[in-house]
A and B are shown apart, each in its own frame.
Chain A
């Protein structure tokens, strides 16, 4: 029983070290590869990753903005926003949506 416990503990420690150390190993490997061959690949990859991340963020922001536009319309139609306030809020939200769509469009064009 004691041996089984020792084996379990060793396996567990090994698994934790391997899992937690994963990102450090990957970064180290990339550094070694870059130093050996002067490959700019990781940089390009990092740039692509950043673009992907930004795209995701913008798409989420676009969905959220659409939801806000719809929310404001619902508030207006159920009497919680005056016509004047609704027009202002709606115009502001649509302008913000336009900015998001512009940036999204630009990123997509650059990626294509």
Chain B
């Protein structure tokens, strides 16, 4: 079936080339049938890539090791669900996933706008097909997912054990959905510039997709953080890794756009800024994809395919050049309809919020690309670490939270003293109350964290006040009971109140980040069975070693051939809190040259973290058993010399028994962090708020009858 898959790629490339030509010809020559045919090319691209994706997925599920991608990233011992997700663990498979998701989202966008802005949509579909063609061409010429080897190997290398984690199955599709959705506003933005139709229509057409891109990207980033925290043995959720940063940058500019587009809708301002943000977000999403694939920067997430660097740099150069040219040549059509009336107005606060977000993006951009920048100027590659990022991002994040509290309640055009007094009394009261409570509780050792908590209370105060006042206003306008008015308020103003719920989620998340990074207790030490250590207010005792042999008995269900761990008893003030069982999994390397026994455990060793989570704190543990002790090493060496491949697992049984009966002192990484759960809870609230904001209303339910009548009645006044 590899032939069918590759034929699909060739057909997809042909469809892209034809669709670009038909779309441009249609719009330039006023031949709508060609534009329609171009739009259908996008649908056809989605169909053809779906067939290609299914072919590859079936090959993974059937363990068809004739496919090089399957042999390199899967194996019979890889559990079924991880095998299904292994498609996007390789360079080739992830390119196919990118192209497929882009074609699906593009089809949806074009279907929803099929009766509007035909000229803009024609250019947009040509640009979307350009992206599709680019990624398909990469697969055809550089990274073919359907390449085969004959005869097929009997067994594959297996999925990277680090990726055998539930959130890792959905993290890439989420992130790629975010990246690919970012290209839709970019395509429509460029289409509007090319068609010189820069009224509010194109913004309305892409608003929901911009929000969806932001939401998917955010969920993807958070799932990646969760993976880092629960799977990698360092105990953190954010390491300012190049690939993590690459996904954060378009999310930040996307956040800025979602705020500033409200100014354009309400006041006809910031048009150049908005179109620039859309183009920047799309370009940054391509740069994010490029970082993962080019291997130009070191990252735990990167694929390291150096061959893809030149095509990506060419595409990014084209995007930047075209964006600058289009904005400069159309600047007359992008003039603001109004000016800022006052620095104390909602418009100014939104603009400040945008500047902080873009400032954050610039800081992260500089830190991420610093190794390349330093090499270009000094000839030596040097990198910046977490403290450098923290120095700039923490103050900016604090300002951002403050602005996200002021923005929703400050008046449009000009805030007066009376207006400020009315709108800021409750939020300021909430912040002061939080300050008094926290100082009373002794939380003063970390002033920046304390400031974040107070600002969070300020934001929660504004959202609570907005919901309360909105419900009262709704009750006055529609004569409903308060709870009914509140529900109707959110239901009928989903974008506004969904957005406020997103604000709540973000501050909950920031409180979690501030608390867990400022007040965590960590200990890295060696313990023998029976020994204890104190981490924060918890006593942790190494009770006994644990071990499992063969993938069947692997408690983490990741297919490890050997797993060595420990049972830890956690107590607080003499009371039992929980029992933790961290372990380290060892995997088959698939390289018989290492020796029959060594190859069984010669793959990448992966830590399986054990943690006890709660709303107030997490107790986190990881173990690094020493498998190189003379006793254990002797068992492996003897096994290598005396046992054939079929009997080799016997040596692992001996090894596990020796580890259990005479456990060597073992290295532990133990952490007690407060409020980590708030990060994931905040993410969930953001997701719910985002869904509310993005969910379309049925057309007839959009404006209640009474309101229609009142609006029409009021026309007499004008």
Chain B residues, CB < 8 A from A73 = 473, 477
Closest chain A residue, CB of each to CB of B1? A5
Is B411 in contact with A81, judged by CB distance below 8 angstroms? Answer: yes
Is A19 in contact with B411, judged by CB distance below 8 angstroms? Answer: no
Is A19 in contact with B470, judged by CB distance below 8 angstroms? Answer: no
Q: Once bound together, how far apart are the Cα atoms of A66 and B270, in whole Å?
A: 24
Closest chain A residue, CB of each to CB of B409? A80
Is A98 in contact with B718, judged by CB distance below 8 angstroms? Answer: yes
Q: Shortest distance in angstroms between A3's beta carbon and chain B's nearest beta carbon?
A: 11
Chain B residues, CB < 8 A from A9 = 3-4, 7, 11
Q: Shortest distance in angstroms between B22's beta carbon and chain A's nearest beta carbon?
A: 8
Is B714 in contact with A20, judged by CB distance below 8 angstroms? Answer: no
Is B466 in contact with A78, judged by CB distance below 8 angstroms? Answer: yes
Is B51 in contact with A12, judged by CB distance below 8 angstroms? Answer: yes
Q: A23-B40, A80-B412 are in contact. Are A98 and B715 (CB under 8 A)?
A: yes
Q: Once bound together, how far apart are the Cα atoms of A8 and B470, in whole Å?
A: 59
Closest chain B residue, CB of each to CB of A8? B4
Is B470 in contact with A74, judged by CB distance below 8 angstroms? Answer: yes
For residue A70, CB closer than 8 A to chain B, the reply is yes
Chain A residues, CB < 8 A from B204 = 64
For residue B476, CB closer than 8 A to chain A, the reply is yes
Chain B residues, CB < 8 A from A22 = 36-37, 40
**Interface residues as binary, A91-105 with B (CB distance below 8 Å gives 1, 0 otherwise):** 110110110010000
Highest count of chain A CB atoms <10 Å: which of B15, B473, B711: B711
Q: A20-B18, A80-B412 are in contact. Are A66 and B703 (CB under 8 A)?
A: yes
Chain A residues, CB < 8 A from B51 = 12
Closest chain A residue, CB of each to CB of B7? A9
Q: Once bound together, how far apart are the Cα atoms of A90 and B715, in whole Å?
A: 10
Q: Shortest distance in angstroms between A72's beta carbon and chain B's nearest beta carbon?
A: 9
**Interface residues as binary, A71-90 with B (CB distance below 8 Å gives 1, 0 otherwise):** 10111011111100100001
For residue A13, CB closer than 8 A to chain B, the reply is yes
**Interface residues as binary, B477-494 with A (CB distance below 8 Å gives 1, 0 otherwise):** 100000000000000110
Chain B residues, CB < 8 A from A75 = 412
Q: A12-B7, A22-B40, A24-B37 are in contact. Are A66 and B477 (CB under 8 A)?
A: no
Is A20 in contact with B718, judged by CB distance below 8 angstroms? Answer: no
For residue A36, CB closer than 8 A to chain B, the reply is no
Is B419 in contact with A79, judged by CB distance below 8 angstroms? Answer: yes
Q: Once bound together, how far apart are the Cα atoms of A10 and B346, in whole Å?
A: 59
For residue A16, CB closer than 8 A to chain B, the reply is yes
For residue A39, CB closer than 8 A to chain B, the reply is no
For residue B314, CB closer than 8 A to chain A, the reply is no
Q: Once bound together, how far apart are the Cα atoms of A9 and B4, in whole Å?
A: 6
Q: Mark out the residues of chain A between 26 and 72 whose CB falls within 8 Å of any chain B CB in the assembled complex.
A: 26-27, 53, 56-57, 63-67, 69-71
For residue A21, CB closer than 8 A to chain B, the reply is yes
Chain B residues, CB < 8 A from A77 = 469, 472-473, 476-477
For residue B29, CB closer than 8 A to chain A, the reply is no
Is A94 in contact with B4, judged by CB distance below 8 angstroms? Answer: no
Q: A63-B699, A78-B469, A97-B711 are in contact. Are A12 and B48 (CB under 8 A)?
A: yes
For residue A2, CB closer than 8 A to chain B, the reply is yes
For residue B43, CB closer than 8 A to chain A, the reply is yes
For residue B381, CB closer than 8 A to chain A, the reply is no
Q: Shortest distance in angstroms between B388's beta carbon and chain A's nearest beta carbon?
A: 39
Partner of B715, one of A21, A26, A97: A97
Is A5 in contact with B3, judged by CB distance below 8 angstroms? Answer: yes
Q: Mark out the residues of chain B between 674 and 718 whose CB falls within 8 Å of any chain A CB in the assembled complex.
A: 699, 702-703, 707-708, 711-712, 714-715, 717-718
Chain A residues, CB < 8 A from B136 = none
Chain A residues, CB < 8 A from B115 = 53, 56
Chain B residues, CB < 8 A from A95 = 715, 718
Q: Shortest distance in angstroms between A108's beta carbon and chain B's nearest beta carbon?
A: 15
Is A82 in contact with B416, judged by CB distance below 8 angstroms? Answer: yes
- Interface range on chain B: under 10, 10 to 19, 20 to 34, or 35 or more? 35 or more
Q: Shortest distance in angstroms between B710's beta carbon and chain A's nearest beta carbon?
A: 9
Is A19 in contact with B699, judged by CB distance below 8 angstroms? Answer: no
Is B48 in contact with A16, judged by CB distance below 8 angstroms? Answer: yes
For residue B44, CB closer than 8 A to chain A, the reply is yes
Q: Shortest distance in angstroms between B479's beta carbon and chain A's nearest beta carbon?
A: 14
Q: A12-B51, A70-B707 are in contact. Are A91 and B33 (CB under 8 A)?
A: no
Partner of A79, one of B11, B19, B116, B411: B411
For residue B41, CB closer than 8 A to chain A, the reply is yes
Partner of A20, one of B40, B496, B708: B40
For residue B259, CB closer than 8 A to chain A, the reply is no
Is A74 in contact with B493, judged by CB distance below 8 angstroms? Answer: yes
Is A24 in contact with B18, judged by CB distance below 8 angstroms? Answer: no
For residue B85, CB closer than 8 A to chain A, the reply is no
Is B48 in contact with A82, judged by CB distance below 8 angstroms? Answer: no
Q: A20-B18, A82-B419 are in contact. Are A66 and B469 (CB under 8 A)?
A: no
Is B718 in contact with A80, judged by CB distance below 8 angstroms? Answer: no
Q: Shortest distance in angstroms between B345's beta carbon and chain A's nearest beta carbon?
A: 10
Chain B residues, CB < 8 A from A69 = 707, 711, 714
Q: Once bound together, how far apart are the Cα atoms of A21 and B15, in whole Å?
A: 11
For residue B423, CB closer than 8 A to chain A, the reply is yes
Chain A residues, CB < 8 A from B413 = 81-82, 85
Closest chain B residue, CB of each to CB of A7? B4
Is B423 in contact with A23, judged by CB distance below 8 angstroms? Answer: no
Q: Once bound together, how far apart are the Cα atoms of A66 and B701, in whole Å?
A: 12
Is A94 in contact with B412, judged by CB distance below 8 angstroms? Answer: no
Is A12 in contact with B11, judged by CB distance below 8 angstroms? Answer: yes
Q: Shortest distance in angstroms between A31's beta carbon and chain B's nearest beta carbon?
A: 10
For residue B196, CB closer than 8 A to chain A, the reply is no
Q: Once bound together, how far apart are the Cα atoms of A1 and B717, in whole Å?
A: 76
Is A23 in contact with B33, judged by CB distance below 8 angstroms? Answer: yes
Chain A residues, CB < 8 A from B116 = 57
For residue B633, CB closer than 8 A to chain A, the reply is no
Chain A residues, CB < 8 A from B37 = 20-24
Q: Shortest distance in angstroms between A1's beta carbon and chain B's nearest beta carbon?
A: 8
Closest chain A residue, CB of each to CB of B413? A85
Q: Shortest distance in angstroms between A58's beta carbon and chain B's nearest beta carbon?
A: 12
Q: Shortest distance in angstroms between B359's beta carbon and chain A's nearest beta carbon?
A: 26
Chain B residues, CB < 8 A from A91 = 717-718
Q: Shortest distance in angstroms between A107's beta carbon and chain B's nearest beta carbon?
A: 16
Chain B residues, CB < 8 A from A80 = 346, 409-412, 419, 423
Partner of A101, one of B41, B419, B493, B712: B712
Closest chain A residue, CB of each to CB of B466? A78
Seen from chain B, the residues whose Cβ lies within 8 Å of a Cβ on chain A are 1, 3-4, 7-8, 11, 15, 18-19, 31-34, 36-37, 40-41, 43-44, 47-48, 51, 115-116, 204, 346, 409-414, 416, 419, 422-423, 466, 469-470, 472-474, 476-477, 492-493, 496, 699, 702-703, 707-708, 711-712, 714-715, 717-718
Q: 6 smallest A-B Cβ distances: which pairs?
A: A77-B473, A23-B36, A27-B33, A66-B703, A94-B718, A23-B33
- 13 A-B contacts, Cβ less than 8 Å apart? A8-B4, A13-B11, A19-B43, A20-B19, A22-B40, A23-B33, A66-B702, A71-B493, A77-B473, A78-B469, A85-B412, A85-B413, A94-B714
Seen from chain A, the residues whose Cβ lies within 8 Å of a Cβ on chain B are 1-2, 5, 8-9, 12-13, 15-16, 19-24, 26-27, 53, 56-57, 63-67, 69-71, 73-75, 77-82, 85, 90-92, 94-95, 97-98, 101
